[in-house]
Structure 1
Amino acid sequence: MQWRCEWCGRNYESDEPPATCETCGRESFEADTDDDPFESEQIVWACADCGREHVKHSPPCARCGGHNLERQRVTVDVDEDVSAPGYLSVGAPYLLGALVVVVIVGLALVGVIPVPGLSGPPAPPDAPADEERTASLSLAEVEANLHDRFETERDSEGVQSRTLDGGDTGAFVTYLTRHTVAERYDDGYDGDGPDPSAFDIRCQRQPAVGVFETAVDADAFNSESALADELATAMLDVTEYRSAIRNDAQREGISVHVAPDGTVFVGYLSC
């Protein structure tokens, strides 16, 4: 049988009521005959001055310092809504924030939302002609040789070395180059240029970017380095490109594309 101290509410389980309460020392007990498992009666001590409720009779009041605590019974029905906020309502703003982060990260991982540095840069558009080779030459090798040629130029000018395609510089300039070619040679193309915010470029200075065009016959060269030398010479002859190639940038992106009519496009970005 359950016995409850009428003063502090401590429960005891015994056939007979205890002689004294071990918590408050009182000798007044009542039988706990609550048959409804979904209701419970609690004893609280309310401050007569400010109404603050306390679980035990332990003056002074934690809120106002008053010493007059009155014993009250409180019945709680767990089937009813309670006024105190529960775990979900208290945590709702934080849980929502966590959910938003998880959803955004999840969508970024599958490429639905572009998050620079996480989902990767957007894929460049398709452009007429082969983006990887012209005749027997690898355009990727031409790009690498162009970078080496520019490094030689910078070394002769006492300018610091650069990283090729650091961050998303290569991806950005590839997108820009293919967009330029597609606009020129594909009547059905209606795409837009690259959105800089979708690329993890991380420039340390104002970027310089452009697409250089030349009518040089790429098929006339028997090596990637020879074609790269020709392109580098042509670009260094243009003041704007020469300045971009020689400045104190930390990285550069290069993209070479040969159009259907043989025009060579060289996308270039330094930052």
Structure 2
Amino acid sequence: MKWRCEWCGKPHEENDPPCDNCGHGTFEEAVTQVNHEVVEGGPRWVCLDCGRQHQKNSPPCNRCGGSNFERRTGPPEEDPLDEIKTGWLDVLEAKYVVGYVTVALVIGILLLGLVAGVPLPGFAPETSAGPPPIPDAPGQGDSVGSLSLAEVEDAYVDVYNVRRATISGGTVTRNGTADDAAAYYNKGRVGVRYENAEPPTREGVSRFALACERPSVVHYEVAYDRPPRSVEQFGNETALATALVDSYFERGHPVRPAEVGTIGVDVHVGPDGRVFVTYVLC
């Protein structure tokens, strides 16, 4: 008496499952003699990755190594790769393989830059190149009436040092780079007041090559725009500078510590006579 697999119909001499064709675990008694070969149109297992047909559900696939098999019945499907006796890996030309590898490397580098913050060639973040420009501001930045604002700034530092010395704050020395930083900030504030310009920033000040990492930036305004008071009432630059320094300390502002002892000053008079003062202290 012969036995055959209930699932795929493979004949067996003994009732000794599992089936060595499909792995099924139940046999049935054969009523008639069956062919020892798998019948045409019988069950087969097809790899869903490459289409290779197999007699058993025994992954991995002999062609592509895939493990996703599907049981099908009916006449075997034509597989063009069986005719040329090759596998899917054989149809990959070397130039395509190089292309795939290159793309994989590029994606890997991009991911490394995003996740780990590694700077990438050609993708480096933009860095600020030098200090920002000193803006043009409405009003007077060189002179007002008979007064030279450059001399007012010199006198301002002298008077400011006297005030510092009286309260044991130590004196400071005027510095050209700090002057530029003060002019950038001061004239920027003038533009904000009269023209709604973009305001200056502390980051912009830090882009100047100052002698300290954290400078003190002090900005204030003195209103000489209401008659009968005006800037022209001051007889000389020292008188105006003294009034500007006194206005600062009379408001109760403290003497700020100087890390390296340098200062930059900018004095600007607005269109209405208001005086704008900024000093940058290191």
TM-score (ref. length: structure 1): 0.50
Asked if 1:139 corresponds to 2:152, the answer is no
Partner in structure 1 of residue 218 of structure 2: 210
Deviations 1:28-74 (A, max 9, x none): xxxxxxxxxxxxxxxxxxxxxxxxxxxxxxxxxxxxxxxxxxxxxxx
Percentage identity across paired residues of the two chains: 32
Task: Describe the SS at the equivalent of 1:239.
Answer: coil
Q: Do 2:164 and 2:255's aligned partners in 1 also have CA atoms closer than 8 Å?
A: no
Deviations 1:90-141 (A, max 9, x none): xxxxxxxxxx9xxxxxxxxxxxx734xxxxx443000001211111101110
2:183 maps to amino acid: T
Partner in structure 1 of residue 251 of structure 2: 238
Deviations 1:174-213 (A, max 9, x none): 10010000111125x3465461342101216x43212111
Among 221, 241, 255, the residue aligned to 2:266: 255
Partner in structure 2 of residue 114 of structure 1: 129
Q: How many residues are aligned here? A: 150
RMSD: 2.4
Among 173, 185, 194, the residue aligned to 1:185: 194
Among 152, 156, 159, the residue aligned to 2:162: 152
**Aligned in 2, Cα 1:164/1:197: closer, same or farther, shift over 3 Å?**
same
Among 226, 242, 251, the residue aligned to 2:239: 226
Where is the strand percentage greater, Structure 1 or Structure 2?
1
Once the two structures are TM-superposed, the CA of residue 218 in structure 1 deviates from its matched residue by 1.2
Q: Do 1:177 and 1:266's aligned partners in 2 also have CA atoms closer than 8 Å?
A: yes
Cα separation, 1, equivalents of 2:151 and 2:200: 28
Give unpaired runs (5+ residues) of structure 2: 1-120, 122-127, 225-229
Among 197, 207, 230, the residue aligned to 1:198: 207
Among 172, 178, 182, the residue aligned to 1:169: 178
Give unpaired runs (5+ residues) of structure 1: 1-99, 101-112, 116-120
TM-score (ref. length: structure 2): 0.48
Cα separation, 2, equivalents of 1:190 and 1:157: 37
Partner in structure 1 of residue 31 of structure 2: none
2:161 maps to amino acid: E
